Amino acid sequence: MSTTTITTPGLPFARLLRVEAEKALDTRAARWLLIVTALLTLATVALPLALPAEFEQSPTGYTLATASAVMTLLPAVGILLLTSEWTRGTILVTFTQEPRRLRVLAAKTAAGVGLGVAGALFAFAVTMGGVFGADAVLGRDVSWTIGSAFGGLLAVSVLNMLMAAGFAALLQSSATAIIVFYVVPAIWTAFSIGVLADVRPYVDSSQAFTWIIEGDTAGNWAPILVSMSLWVLVPLVAGAWRVATRDVRS
């Protein structure tokens, strides 16, 4: 397959990516999700401003708050970009226009990752605005050390969008993918008692995301790698396999 792709180009990837990025943004659902994400991100920066005792007054502390909207809502856009094609049956058209299905999946995943990068940039801008406000307007004693705050935010936002793409590719249904994406990690956390509590760091994606944002990775590489493999790599590989092999029916 890959050799075929190289010797016979098909549609240029840049063109596929451009079209998939447009598709991601031109539906009403996507536009509203993006507007709400932006508004919520602006709202969440009020938390560390209002509760200085709860949040470290630093880029890292503020990022833990501002990342939440981006981490929660953007994946829905990424999921819908994939699953709505199956739900609406338009995948019939998409896969006859470019029958190399994995290239379509790659373009859609890349569009989602691009959205994750844009979301991280926006959230970090809001973060720095908040820290500046705390410093200059409220006169708080803030730390301006960026440390791993931005890199961590960028990394988790991208990982989160990859995780969304994996679930979407694997489940190929908007309702199922969204429910599973939001509910299953939470259920894992809820059941993490007793013996399960010991393995929890290895299966808890949100714990891994927090470590990455806080830059607290040094002693935690093993659980981070295991949980990211489980939540990001496995769904992506299984999803790609299912997209490539499953018959398209409507």
Footprint of another protein on this chain (CB under 8 A)?
A: 4, 8-11, 15-16, 18-19, 22-23, 26-28, 88-93, 95-101, 245, 247-250
Query: Around Cβ 69, how many Cβ atoms within 10 Å?
Result: 22
Kindly state the smallest distance separating residue 93's Cβ from another protein, in Å: 5
Q: How far is residue 26 CA from its own chain's centroid? A: 19
Task: Select 70 or 103, whichever has its Cβ closest to another protein.
Answer: 103
- DSSP state at residue 51: -
Q: Which residues contact 20 (CB under 8 A, 6 or more apart)?
A: 81, 104, 107, 108, 110, 111
Kindly state the smallest distance separating residue 30's Cβ from another protein, in Å: 10
Kindly state the smallest distance separating residue 87's Cβ from another protein, in Å: 11
Amino acid at site 24:
A
Query: Around Cβ 5, how many Cβ atoms within 10 Å?
Result: 13
Kindly state the smallest distance separating residue 234's Cβ from another protein, in Å: 24
Kindly state the smallest distance separating residue 171's Cβ from another protein, in Å: 19
Quickly list H helices, the chain: 2-7, 13-25, 28-44, 46-50, 59-88, 91-97, 101-132, 149-171, 174-190, 195-203, 205-214, 221-228, 234-245
Query: Around Cβ 21, how many Cβ atoms within 10 Å?
Result: 18
* Residues 158/228, Cβ–Cβ less than 8 Å: no
Task: Select 90 or 229, whichever has its Cβ closest to another protein.
Answer: 90
Kindly state the smallest distance separating residue 226's Cβ from another protein, in Å: 34
Task: Select 27 or 220, whichever has its Cβ closest to another protein.
Answer: 27
Query: Around Cβ 238, how many Cβ atoms within 10 Å?
Result: 14
Kindly state the smallest distance separating residue 140's Cβ from another protein, in Å: 46
Query: Around Cβ 180, how many Cβ atoms within 10 Å?
Result: 18
Length of the chain: 250
Task: Select 198 or 247, whichever has its Cβ closest to another protein.
Answer: 247
Cα–Cα distance between 161 and 77 in angstroms, integer? 9
